[in-house]
Amino acid sequence: MERWPWPSGGAWLLVAARALLQLLRADLRLGRPLLAALALLAVLDWLCQRLLPPLAALAVLAAAGWIALSCLARPPRLPVATRAVLITGCDSGFGKEAAKKLDAMGFTVLATVLDLDSPGALELRACCSSNLRLLQMDLTKPADIRHALEFTKAHTTSTGLWGLVNNAGFNDVVADAELSPVATFRSCMEVNFFGALQLTKGLLPLLRRSRGRIVTVGSPAGDMPYPCLGAYGTSKAALVLLMDTFSCELLPWGIKVSVIQPGCFRTGEESVRKVDHWERRKQLLLANLSQELLQAYGEDYIEHLYGQFLHSLRLALPDLSPVVDAIIDALLAAQPRRRYYPGRGLGLMYFIHNYLPEGLRRRFLQAFFINPCLPRALQPSQPSPTPTQDAVQDPAPNLGLSPTEAQ
């Protein structure tokens, strides 16, 4: 029996009318999610016409279209008005781009930089309004954090502080955890965890008063064991757990906490300078390895790791707008998400990490980021290493620390 086409057409007209209205109000974006939803609706339409009576098909298709458009709609946003926000790590990358975008939207932006004369700081001075204030802050120095707290209180007396964006991050070693100096783990924790903790705690009285927002840039390396990012990933895992704790504890105060887990983006300076920087870090790592570790792993192994890492940097996305958009949504959405995952392939990555066997997870991360070769001692042609005097002594790495500090 031939089906009447009008119920299906009526449902599509309803869906099209609502989609057009949402597009005109900028509540909906043209993109792959919308196209995927329309494709699924078309499949559902085909099934309904063959399995259901006309009126039931109309009801199911219209309801499915309405729900899909509701899910795709942007959440309502709060007005910018005179809101003030503090962003850390604005010398480059996400921090710098977020500061520029928020300033253009009308926010009062307090942007922290490591160096007030850095290229990023000079760019912000040149292209932003007088509402943007720059201040120097090193998150490893309590005196700098205290000064930032006083600066923030002094510059938000009339507006209050609406948001804190914990963006600053640090990592300077790409190597297995055994090869990474303990000092590197401490440095990552000082910047990525303890610095963010001290700054956030210091600003909580202002944020409680405004019932504002805390937005923190984490990393998927804190959720899954990325090869050769043990120090960085460990610090980010601690930071994200801290933010989840804050999210629960600060809910009665009206403070909303969001964590952004970005994919692989090109956030540093120009590629030539990045290559020079990582070449210096590699040479310093090699110079400070014990003889036993150098024999076990081999210089070729470390050269391979850094070559793979630089290759992944070249493949990183140069457009930082997905992360900046996530920061803005976390600051202004009436009901912000607790997690944002901007970037290419993150959905597949988290699916594999959460649901597939451990061996497949490991191989996927290696193929995606760094695929290490076999250490020298594990290669078939190499004899097993024997303990050396260097291995017994296990000297502290020479990274500018006194022996007491290294211990």
Q: State the residue for tokens 């909906």.
A: 28
Q: What is the 3-state secondary structure (H, E, C) of the chain?
A: CCCCCHHHHHHHHHHHHHHHHHHHCCCCCCCHHHHHHHHHHHHHHHHHHHHCCHHHHHHHHHHHHHHHHHHHCCCCECCCCCCEEEECCCCCHHHHHHHHHHHHHCCEEEEEECCCCCHHHHHHHHHCCCCCEEEECCCCCHHHHHHHHHHHHHHCCCCCCCEEEECCCCCCCCECCCCCCHHHHHHHHHHHHHHHHHHHHHHHHHHHHHCCEEEEECCHHHCCCCCCEHHHHHHHHHHHHHHHHHHHHCHHHCCEEEEECCCCECCCCCHHHHHHHHHHHHHHHHHHCCHHHHHHHCHHHHHHHHHHHHHHHHCCECCCHHHHHHHHHHHHECCCCCEECCCCCHHHHHHHHHHCCHHHHHHHHHHHCCCCCCCHHHCCCCCCCCCCHHHHHCCCCCCCCCHHHHC
Token digits of residue 8: 């299906």
Residue 306 known to be catalytic: no
Determine the angle formed by the axes of helices 346-355 and 358-368, rounding to 10 degrees.
150
Sign (positive or negative) of CA dihedral 146, 149, 153, 154: positive
> Which entry of 232, 297, 306, 340 is annotated as an active-site residue?
232
Contacts of 217 (CB under 8 A, 6+ apart): 94, 165, 166, 167, 169, 259, 260, 262, 323, 327
Q: Are 196 and 166 in contact (CB under 8 A)?
A: yes
Catalytic positions, written as ranges:
232
